[in-house]
Chain A
Amino acid sequence: MTETMEIEQERHVLVIFPHPDDEAFGVSGTIAIHTGRKTPVTYACLTLGEMGRNLGNPPFATRESLPDIRKAELQKAAEAIGIQDLRMMGLRDKTLEFEDDQKMMNLVTDLINELDPSLIITFYPGYSVHPDHEATARAVVRAVRAIEESKRPKLHCVAFANNTLEEIGAADIHYDIRHVYDKKLEAMKAHISQTIWMLKDLEASVAEEGSELHDRFNYEYFWTYTFDDKDKVTDIKS
């Protein structure tokens, strides 16, 4: 296992993801550590994952009932990891890349102006696979980039595309979240409509010290976003 580091004390943490459950697998341990210190954490979840495909067979949900189910799951997950300020932003799953880019950026700018976060957590643009993840990441990068350099919050990104390692290297931030793993598991379980198929086998494998799954879920990894020549997010075309 690579060496881990201490999580810094933050003023306010702003987490921005498009789907309920985006927070559960990669970052819920880190969030639980911040909330455990009474650091305010705001989670802006842009959609309700209305287009989720796990509806069961026999079906437990329909295309029309899924949003309410996932909303309740999201609230339960937020509670599990101590998030007091959960914002459901009302956009629609799988439409974010078709939204007006300026509107997406303004949504983030408004949150930053209101909350004055010292840290923002989101996806890494170009390496987060789902078009909604990418659109979210671009909006966050554009909003933070527009802030004067000395006043910018830190930006920690989650990347999981298959080509991540070759192209942007390993994560520069590694946190050991073993002491809050029970809370993370609770958050993952809260999204049961989407996670049941993987949680079945997961619990036993994660418990096995030294296994790949153990490390994947007991440590959390972030890439610090830097606004230099690695920044590939274009400006909005007018």
Chain B
Amino acid sequence: MEPILPEKVQELINKFAGQEVYLHMETTNGAYASHFNEKFFSAGAYIRNAKLTYEHGKIVGDGPFRVGLKLAIGWVYAEGLTHYGFDESGHLLMAGHDFDGKLAVALQLGTTPFK
């Protein structure tokens, strides 16, 4: 994974627009957050291999970055993205790594399902 170059990522988002893609998205504080700090309210969300088509997408911000994808009748978005890269199947991986190196958010797309 490399630090996000917004122009480069915008190009990639454009490339996947208008076709059926598989999407992985997650956000989490980790299952232990409330164990280490009982005042901490732990929350997260996860979706893997959602099949969808977006009309267009945008990356915005000065870093960490935000990415939004416009669907026919809805939206996908993620914020806090810091890094991007690819897996061996050519899926576009975007992730937000916090100051301790822990994954905080992930948004991933590709034309084939994730394993």
Q: Give B72-115 as 1s and 0s: 1 = Cβ < 8 Å from A's Cβ atoms.
A: 00000000001101010001010101111111101010000011
Query: Are B46 and A130 in contact, with the CB atoms below 8 A?
Result: no
- Are B31 and A63 closer than 8 Å at their CB atoms? no
Mask, A139-171, CB within 8 Å of B = 1, is: 000000000000000000000011000000000
Question: Is the beta-carbon distance between B114 and A59 smaller than 8 angstroms?
Answer: no
Q: With an 8 A cutoff between CB atoms, is B41 at the interface? A: no
Q: Which residues of A contact B97 (CB under 8 A)?
A: 55-57, 59
- Cβ-defined contact, A65 with B87, below 8 A: yes
A53-B103, A55-B102 are known contacts. Are A62 and B35 too (CB-CB below 8 A)? Answer: no
Q: Please, how many angstroms separate the alpha-carbon atoms of A56 and B95 in the complex?
A: 11
A6: Cβ under 8 A from any B Cβ: no
A19 to B81 Cα, complex, angstroms: 27
Residues of A within 8 A of B63 (CB): none
Known interface pairs A57-B97, A94-B46, A197-B100; A64-B32 also in contact (CB < 8 Å): no
CB contact under 8 A between A130 and B87, given known A57-B101, A59-B1, A63-B103: no
Question: Which residues of chain A are within 8 angstroms of B7 by Cβ–Cβ distance?
Answer: none
A56 proximity list for chain B (CB < 8 A): 97, 101
Beta-carbon contact of A62 and B87 below 8 Å:
yes
Q: Is the CB of B95 within 8 A of A55?
A: yes
Q: Give the Cβ gap from A207 to chain B, nearest Cβ, in Å.
A: 25
**Residue B28 is within 8 A (CB to CB) of chain A in the complex:** yes
Query: By the criterion CB–CB under 8 Å, are A59 and B95 in contact?
Result: yes
**What is the CA–CA distance of A197 and B82 in the complex, to the nearest angstrom?**
21
Interface residues on A, range: 20 to 34
What residues of B have a CB within 8 angstroms of the CB of A59 in the complex? 1, 83, 85, 95, 97, 101
- B34's closest neighbor in chain A, by CB? A129
Report Cα–Cα, A132/B91, bound state, in Å: 28
* Docked-complex contact B115 and A62, CB < 8 angstroms: no
The reply to whether A58 and B1 contact each other, CB–CB distance below 8 Å, is: yes
Contact with A along B29-73 (1 / 0, CB 8 A): 011100100100000001000000000000000000000000000
Closest to A130 in B: B31
Q: How far is the CB of B67 from chain A (nearest CB, A)?
A: 15
> Once bound together, how far apart are the Cα atoms of A67 and B98, in whole Å?
20
A-B contact pairs, 12 of them (CB 8 A): A51-B28, A53-B28, A55-B101, A56-B97, A56-B101, A58-B1, A59-B95, A62-B93, A63-B24, A63-B106, A64-B114, A162-B38
The 8 A-B pairs at the shortest CB distance, nearest first, are namely: A64-B87, A59-B1, A57-B97, A57-B101, A53-B102, A56-B101, A53-B103, A130-B31
Which residues of B pack against A, CB within 8 Å?
Answer: 1, 3, 24, 26, 28, 30-32, 35, 38, 46, 82-83, 85, 87, 91, 93, 95, 97-104, 106, 108, 114-115
A interface residues (Cβ-Cβ under 8 A, vs B): 51-59, 62-65, 67, 94, 129-132, 161-162, 197
